[in-house]
Chains A and B, each alone.
Chain A
């Protein structure tokens, strides 16, 4: 069984905890975890992802699920939200993050300098998540 395939509970109360646990497991991936020379996931990237998850309500995290979280070969983490015709992909890096929003395959927003500790930017991100992915 792969290190990331350990089953996790789908209990609604544990969504936050489980997803954060899953993200923390990504820090266990060692150099060359993909067999193509991938970088290990730096703890700062994991911490940044956990920080973002702490800011997001359960209902919006439930949409992501474990399958929406992927480590990338250069040591970042991508997180995807899909609901109906709406899609958001966030990529969390060491120093900054990026994301796009699409609706019906039409790009609604491109953000290439998302600083998660900037409260104004974080509030905008949360507002957009609610706008596109809440009922």
Chain B
């Protein structure tokens, strides 16, 4: 039976960002993530997340594992409340995909081009997103199932 995913955010919704090493993980404190985890690529203003209230950590982990490459390795999941994202001055839009009805995008209202530094205000938002997010490391990379801590506890 398909899961009903509403087209509006409900109160208390949490978002989950797939985290990859090495660049999303704080080198000094590996239990933390860096602001890069919430930064959009050049020419785009969107950072993919999933709506945690309607999906599972295992679904997100499978997505992350499927995206593993020479450049990046799935390392865990970061969760943050939808309300915190909005309160910090960022935005979230629902962007359901056929293969992923839980998909949404965090965005900032600014598109950066190659070599263009982010306005300091945007870096403040990104830094605070990284601070407020709970990072759950993947405790068993060899498993297809999520075996780390309960990500809904944030």
Which positions in A face B, CB cutoff 8 Å?
2, 4-5, 32-39, 42, 44-45, 65-68, 70-76, 78, 87, 89, 91-100, 102, 107, 110-112
Contact B115 A42 (CB under 8 A): yes
Interface set, chain B 111-127, CB cutoff 8 A to A: 112-121, 123-124, 127
Which positions in B face A, CB cutoff 8 Å?
20, 22-23, 26-28, 34-36, 39-43, 67, 69-72, 112-121, 123-124, 127
Number of A-B residue pairs having CB atoms within 8 Å of each other in the complex = 107
Residues of A within 8 A of B119 (CB): 98, 110, 112
Contact A74 B42 (CB under 8 A): yes
Q: Within the complex, which residue of B20, B22, B40, B67 is in contact with A73, where a contact is CB–CB below 8 Å?
A: B40
A100 to B71 alpha-carbon distance, docked (Å): 30
Contact A72 B36 (CB under 8 A): yes
Contact A89 B120 (CB under 8 A): yes
CB distance from A113 to the nearest CB of B (A): 10
Residues of B within 8 A of A66 (CB): 27
A97 to B115 alpha-carbon distance, docked (Å): 10
Q: Within the complex, which residue of A32, A36, A45, A111 is in contact with B115, where a contact is CB–CB below 8 Å?
A: A45
CB distance from B68 to the nearest CB of A (A): 8
